[in-house]
Structures are given as structure tokens and as C-alpha cells.
């Protein structure tokens, strides 16, 4: 009798081990490079109080190869241990984010997703989750090199219907978050990874007011990738009433025939680049109009192969109102787009406006996720 | 050849701006016709969070950046701006001593309204 019970226990134990092995075969981490190490970025776009987001993640089929013949049943995000400790400070426990997740297998490429959300989906879109994702309360200080995907510390999305893997197709995961309302400010950062690729920029001349920091105008060089949004920021001179960003294709001739630099106003407010495109930008005063302020511009670029390594020029122009209106200019920038093409195998498209049909493309950028399939 | 390439770049940029305008204009249509649920309003939010909120000049200020820039800046009134790398850090602390006799601090990133927060003490 005793031996029968032992035998049964051994059989059950072996069966359990077997099931464990089978299940472990259906688990992958995306991007695969982050399976055993923490990603180099973090994201707070998914889980935060009163935040609305749409985030589409396009995953290359190569990342899903080991799941061939299975069905996706669950997705988990990972806590960020390295630098996001401030992010977890306000978690009291019980916070949650209402969310809808749609998914499809698609021909849209992870290396070149469309800014238009619909274009990244395949023909058969499945709603795999609708509900509230509850965020675990986690320690703010964490000495570990990398967090786990254990449900005690990993936000988990259990699919309401399994999603069969389509071999050779890329996966489009489409997250829409609705406003969480715990009644206090909080965010729950998740681990993320990016393959940083940057273009280059060179300063031309200088701003024509005594800016507290030089150069007054800068570009985020990692945004100089065809298909992404170019991001520039600039200090604005005191008493700015309007700001514009000029994009041009020459720093020698304006409009093809006017020699540059061209003095627009004294002292030394010079047009340094051809103002082929002039875009108004939002500007902010700092406390009062007599201080320098701030402006920025985020503008999309097309995904064209010919843009890799191409150059262009930028300069801010300001309308300043003191006793009489005048013009002021920032320093110019000569920028060159990165030559490298995306290589992470995951990119995302995101917007803060869920009524919009398009978003901003982030090439080689991914939340770190564990996908489970059976 | 070089000129035509540059023209092509700028034409493409113009096209991209026009494309965004067009897509924004049709967003209402998409919102009403798509099979996917949509919120019919936009929640205006800001990439900056602060602790305590509202901030006071007699306490350290913990600043949390929730956007996607690689670096951001803060500038206490009358002082030089300070650049902070936020690629791996979600936030930083400005000590209260920096606020002594100051009227405010400006938190700056790209992203127009979302990227800026002006704090007045």
C-alpha cells in the first residue's frame, strides 16, 4: 500500500515536471536580447494615473520562431530595477489600468512600421484582452540586476482568447489604455530596450542674444532616423511672442540664390539656413516675459531609404516684442540622418490621442515582455 | 544630383506634415467607424510628475519624467540650466537649497505642452 502511494507520487511528480518542461517551451522574452538582462530604458506609457495611450508594438516573426504551432495565451511586462525607483514611489497597492489589447499577425515590418495604426495590422484582428490590469505593489529600491516575470511583480495580461501563431508573419500587439483613477498620482514603469542609433548635428553660428546656455538650439541626435520624428528644443529670447522653426536644404544660399548668412536684425541676428519650410512652434515664458523661455518642435520624417545619411539644416526664428517688434535668431544646425537601418526586431508606434489614426514611430524600441504560448 | 536629393527630402518632409494634418482631420471618422473601441476625448497630460505635488520651496523636489526624451533639463530661476540623462533614470531630485529665494523652476523636454512644466513657488 505504502509502495503504491510512493509510486503514485513519483508518477505525479514526473508528470508535473513534464508539464513544466512543455510549458517552458512556450515562453519567450521579447526582445530576446533581454531574456537574462535588464533593458537599457524604461517606459511609463502603459501604466499611470489618468493617462490615455495607444501603443502598437510590431514584433518580427524571427522573435516568435520558437512558438511555432502554439497559441499565445499570456503577456507579462517586467519591472525596471535599475533606474526607475522614483517611478514606484507613489504606488500604494491596488492601482490598475483599464486596457484593451488587440492583436494580429501581419506583413507590416518591425523595421519600418507605418505611423498609421491600421496599416500595421493584418487582416484578422483579434481582441485578446479587455479589462483592468492590476499593478503589483513593489519595492522602490531593488538591488537585483534584473527583475523576474513572476506574477507577484510583473503586470500580467491573460488573453481572453488564445491567439494562434501564424508562422512567418510578424505580430502586431495594439494596446489602448483608458484613464486609471486611483485618486492619486502614480506611475508604474516597465523595463524597455532600445537599439540606439543616432545621426549627427553640427552647430552653425550662434544665437543673437546672450543665451544662458549655448548652443541655444539643439537636436536630439537619436531622433535623426528616417521614419522617426526629429526633435529639437531651443531657448527663446526674452519677450518672445512667436517662434518658428525653419528647415532648409542649404546654409549657403537661401531659396537657391540669396547668399547666406543674411542679417535680419541688429545685433547679428542672422539667417543662417535657407528657410524653405517655416513651421510655427509652441513657446513658453519662464515666470515672466523678461526671462528666456523654451520652445520645441517634433516633426515626422518619411521612411525613405534615400534619407539614410542625408543632410539638412535647421534654425529657429523668433518674433520679439519690446518697445517695438523685431526678429531674433537662434544658432543654426546642420544635421545628418543616421545611416544604419533598424536591427532590434521590434518597433513601436504610440500616441497620446486615442482618437487619432496615427502615432509617432519609435524604431528599435520595445517594452520587455514575456509571451507565453500553449 | 545632390540638389534634387535635397529637394526630395524637403518635399518628403512637406508631405509628412501634410499627411499628419490629413490623418488628424480624419481621426473623427476613424473614431466613429473603426471596430476598435476609442475614447472620444483626449486627456491632456504632462510628461512631468513631482513629489510633493503641489511643490513647495522648503522641501526637496522629486521630479519624475514620463516622456521618451533621452535627456531633459531643469532650470531654477536665475540659475544655469541643468541637463539630466533620463535614459535609465526615471527621475531626479532637486534639493531644497536650490530654491532659496527663487520664484520657480522650469522643467523642459521636447513635445510642446506635454514637455514643459513651470513651477511657481
- A124-177 per-position pLDDT tens digit: 999 999 999 999 999 888 889 999 999 999 999 999 999 999 999 999 999 999
Measured CA to CA, the distance from residue A245 to residue A278 in angstroms comes to 6
Q: What is the DSSP code (8-state) at residue A187?
A: B
Residue A168 falls in which region: left (phi positive, over 0), alpha (psi -120 to 50) or beta:
left
Put simply, the chain A residues between 249 and 268 with a CB less than 8 A from any chain B CB are 249-250
Q: Is the pLDDT of residue B17 over 70?
A: no
- Output the pLDDT for position B117: 93
Q: Where are the beta strands (DSSP E) in B1-121?
A: 48-51, 61-65, 71-76, 82-85, 91-94, 104-108, 116-120
Chain-chain contact of B45 with A51 (C-beta, under 8 angstroms)? yes
pLDDT at res. A21 = 40
Residues A331 and A352 sit within 8 Å (Cβ to Cβ): no
The residue among A27, A149, A30, A29 whose CA lies nearest residue A81 is A149
Q: B36 and A102 in contact by Cβ < 8 A?
A: yes
pLDDT above 60: residue A81: yes
To which residue does cell 544646425 refer? Answer: A333
Q: What is the rounded CA–CA span in Å between residue A158 and residue A76?
A: 8
For residues B38 and A238, give the distance between their C-alpha atoms in angstroms, rounded to a whole number.
Answer: 42
Q: What is the pLDDT of residue A203?
A: 98
Query: What are the backbone dihedrals phi and psi of residue A191, each rounded to the nearest 5 degrees, phi first?
Result: -70, 145
Q: Which run of H or of E encompasses A174? A: strand A170-177
User: In 10 A of CB B54, how many CB atoms?
Assistant: 8
Tell whether the model's pLDDT for residue A30 goes beyond 90: yes
- Partner-chain residue, chosen from B81, B88, B115, that has the shortest CB–CB distance to A213: B81
DSSP single-letter state for residue B61: E
pLDDT band at A5 (very low <50, low <70, confident <90, very high): low
| Residue A84: predicted pLDDT | 66
Q: Tell me what pLDDT residue A352 has.
A: 86
- Spell out which residues of chain B touch residue A277, defining contact as CB-CB under 8 Å: 10, 13-14, 17
For A124, the closest chain B residue by CA position comes to B35
A:161-220 residues touching chain B, CB 8 A cutoff? 174, 176, 178-179, 185, 187, 189, 212-213, 220
pLDDT at A196 over 50: yes
- What is the distance between the alpha carbons of residues A199 and A233, in angstroms, rounded to a whole number? 16
Indicate the average pLDDT of chain A.
Answer: 91
Confidence (pLDDT) at A44: 86
Distance (Å) of CA A353 to CA A240, B39, B50: 29, 9, 23
- pLDDT at A195 (0 to 100): 94
The band of B43, judged by pLDDT with boundaries at 50, 70 and 90, is: very low
pLDDT single digits (tens) A356-369:
999 999 999 999 99
- Convert the pLDDT of each residue in B48-79 to its tens digit: 989 998 899 999 999 999 888 999 999 999 99
Average pLDDT over residues A104-108: 98
A286 vs A292: CA distance, rounded Å:
7
Tell me what the mean pLDDT of segment A77-85 comes to. 84
Grid cell for residue A212: 544662458
- Tell me how close the Cα of B98 comes to any Cα of chain A, in angstroms: 17
ipTM of the assembly?
A: 0.81
pLDDT of residue B41: 36
What are the backbone dihedrals phi and psi of residue A368, each rounded to the nearest 5 degrees, phi first?
-85, 120
Q: What are phi and psi of A142, to 5 degrees?
A: -145, 115
Q: How many CB atoms lie within 10 A of CB B3?
A: 10
Residue carrying C-alpha cell 505504502: A2
pLDDT of the residue at B90: 78
- The candidate with the shortest Cα–Cα distance to A331, out of A220, A225, A245, A227, is A245
**Closest chain B residue to A41, measured at CA:** B88
* CA angle, A87 then A92 then A97, to 5°: 75
Distance from CA of B40 to the nearest CA of A (A): 6
Single pTM value for the model? 0.83
Amino acid at each position: 500500500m505504502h509502495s503504491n502511494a510512493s509510486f503514485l507520487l513519483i508518477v505525479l511528480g514526473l508528470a508535473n515536471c513534464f508539464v513544466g518542461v512543455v510549458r517552458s517551451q512556450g515562453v519567450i522574452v521579447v526582445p530576446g536580447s533581454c531574456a537574462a538582462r535588464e533593458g537599457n530604458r524604461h517606459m511609463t506609457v502603459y501604466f499611470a494615473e489618468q493617462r490615455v495611450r495607444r501603443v502598437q508594438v510590431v514584433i518580427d516573426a524571427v522573435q516568435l520562431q520558437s512558438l511555432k504551432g502554439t497559441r499565445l495565451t499570456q503577456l507579462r511586462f517586467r519591472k525596471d530595477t535599475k533606474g526607475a525607483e522614483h517611478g514606484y514611489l507613489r504606488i500604494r497597492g491596488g492601482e490598475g489600468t483599464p486596457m484593451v489589447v488587440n492583436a494580429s499577425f501581419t506583413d507590416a515590418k518591425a523595421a519600418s512600421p507605418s505611423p498609421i495604426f491600421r496599416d500595421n495590422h493584418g487582416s484578422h484582428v483579434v481582441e485578446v484582452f479587455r479589462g483592468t490590469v492590476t499593478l503589483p505593489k513593489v519595492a522602490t529600491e531593488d538591488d537585483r540586476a534584473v527583475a523576474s516575470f513572476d506574477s507577484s511583480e510583473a503586470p500580467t495580461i491573460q488573453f481572453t482568447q488564445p491567439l494562434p501563431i501564424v508562422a512567418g508573419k510578424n505580430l502586431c500587439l495594439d494596446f489602448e489604455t483608458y484613464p486609471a483613477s486611483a485618486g492619486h498620482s502614480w506611475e508604474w514603469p516597465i523595463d524597455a530596450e532600445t537599439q540606439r542609433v543616432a545621426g549627427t548635428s553640427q552647430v552653425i553660428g550662434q544665437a543673437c542674444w546672450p543665451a544662458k546656455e549655448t548652443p541655444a538650439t539643439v537636436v536630439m541626435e537619436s531622433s535623426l532616423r528616417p521614419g522617426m520624428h526629429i526633435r529639437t528644443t531651443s531657448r527663446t529670447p526674452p519677450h518672445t511672442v512667436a517662434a518658428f522653426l525653419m528647415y532648409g536644404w542649404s546654409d549657403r544660399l537661401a531659396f537657391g540664390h540669396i547668399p547666406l548668412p543674411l542679417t535680419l536684425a541688429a545685433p547679428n541676428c542672422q539667417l543662417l539656413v535657407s528657410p524653405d519650410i517655416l513651421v510655427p512652434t509652441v513657446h513658453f515664458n519662464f515666470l515672466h516675459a523678461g526671462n528666456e523661455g523654451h520652445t520645441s518642435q517634433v516633426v515626422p520624417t518619411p521612411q525613405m531609404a534615400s534619407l539614410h545619411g542625408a543632410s539638412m539644416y535647421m534654425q529657429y526664428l523668433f518674433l520679439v516684442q519690446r518697445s517695438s517688434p523685431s526678429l531674433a535668431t537662434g544658432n543654426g544646425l546642420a544635421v545628418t540622418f543616421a545611416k544604419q537601418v533598424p536591427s532590434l526586431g521590434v518597433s513601436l508606434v504610440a500616441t497620446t490621442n486615442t482618437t487619432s489614426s496615427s502615432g509617432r514611430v519609435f524604431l528599435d524600441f520595445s517594452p520587455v515582455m514575456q509571451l507565453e504560448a500553449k | 544630383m545632390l540638389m534634387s536629393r535635397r529637394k526630395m527630402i524637403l518635399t518628403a518632409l512637406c508631405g509628412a506634415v501634410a499627411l499628419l494634418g490629413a490623418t488628424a482631420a480624419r481621426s473623427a471618422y476613424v473614431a466613429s467607424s473603426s471596430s476598435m473601441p476609442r475614447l472620444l476625448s483626449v486627456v491632456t497630460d504632462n510628461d512631468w510628475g513631482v513629489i510633493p505635488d503641489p511643490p513647495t520651496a522648503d522641501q526637496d523636489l522629486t521630479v519624475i519624467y514620463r516622456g521618451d526624451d533621452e535627456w531633459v533639463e531643469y532650470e531654477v530661476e536665475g540659475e544655469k540650466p541643468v541637463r539630466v540623462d533620463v535614459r535609465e533614470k526615471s527621475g531626479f531630485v532637486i534639493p531644497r537649497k536650490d530654491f532659496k529665494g527663487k520664484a520657480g523652476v522650469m522643467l523642459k523636454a521636447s513635445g510642446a505642452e506635454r514637455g514643459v512644466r513651470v513651477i511657481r513657488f
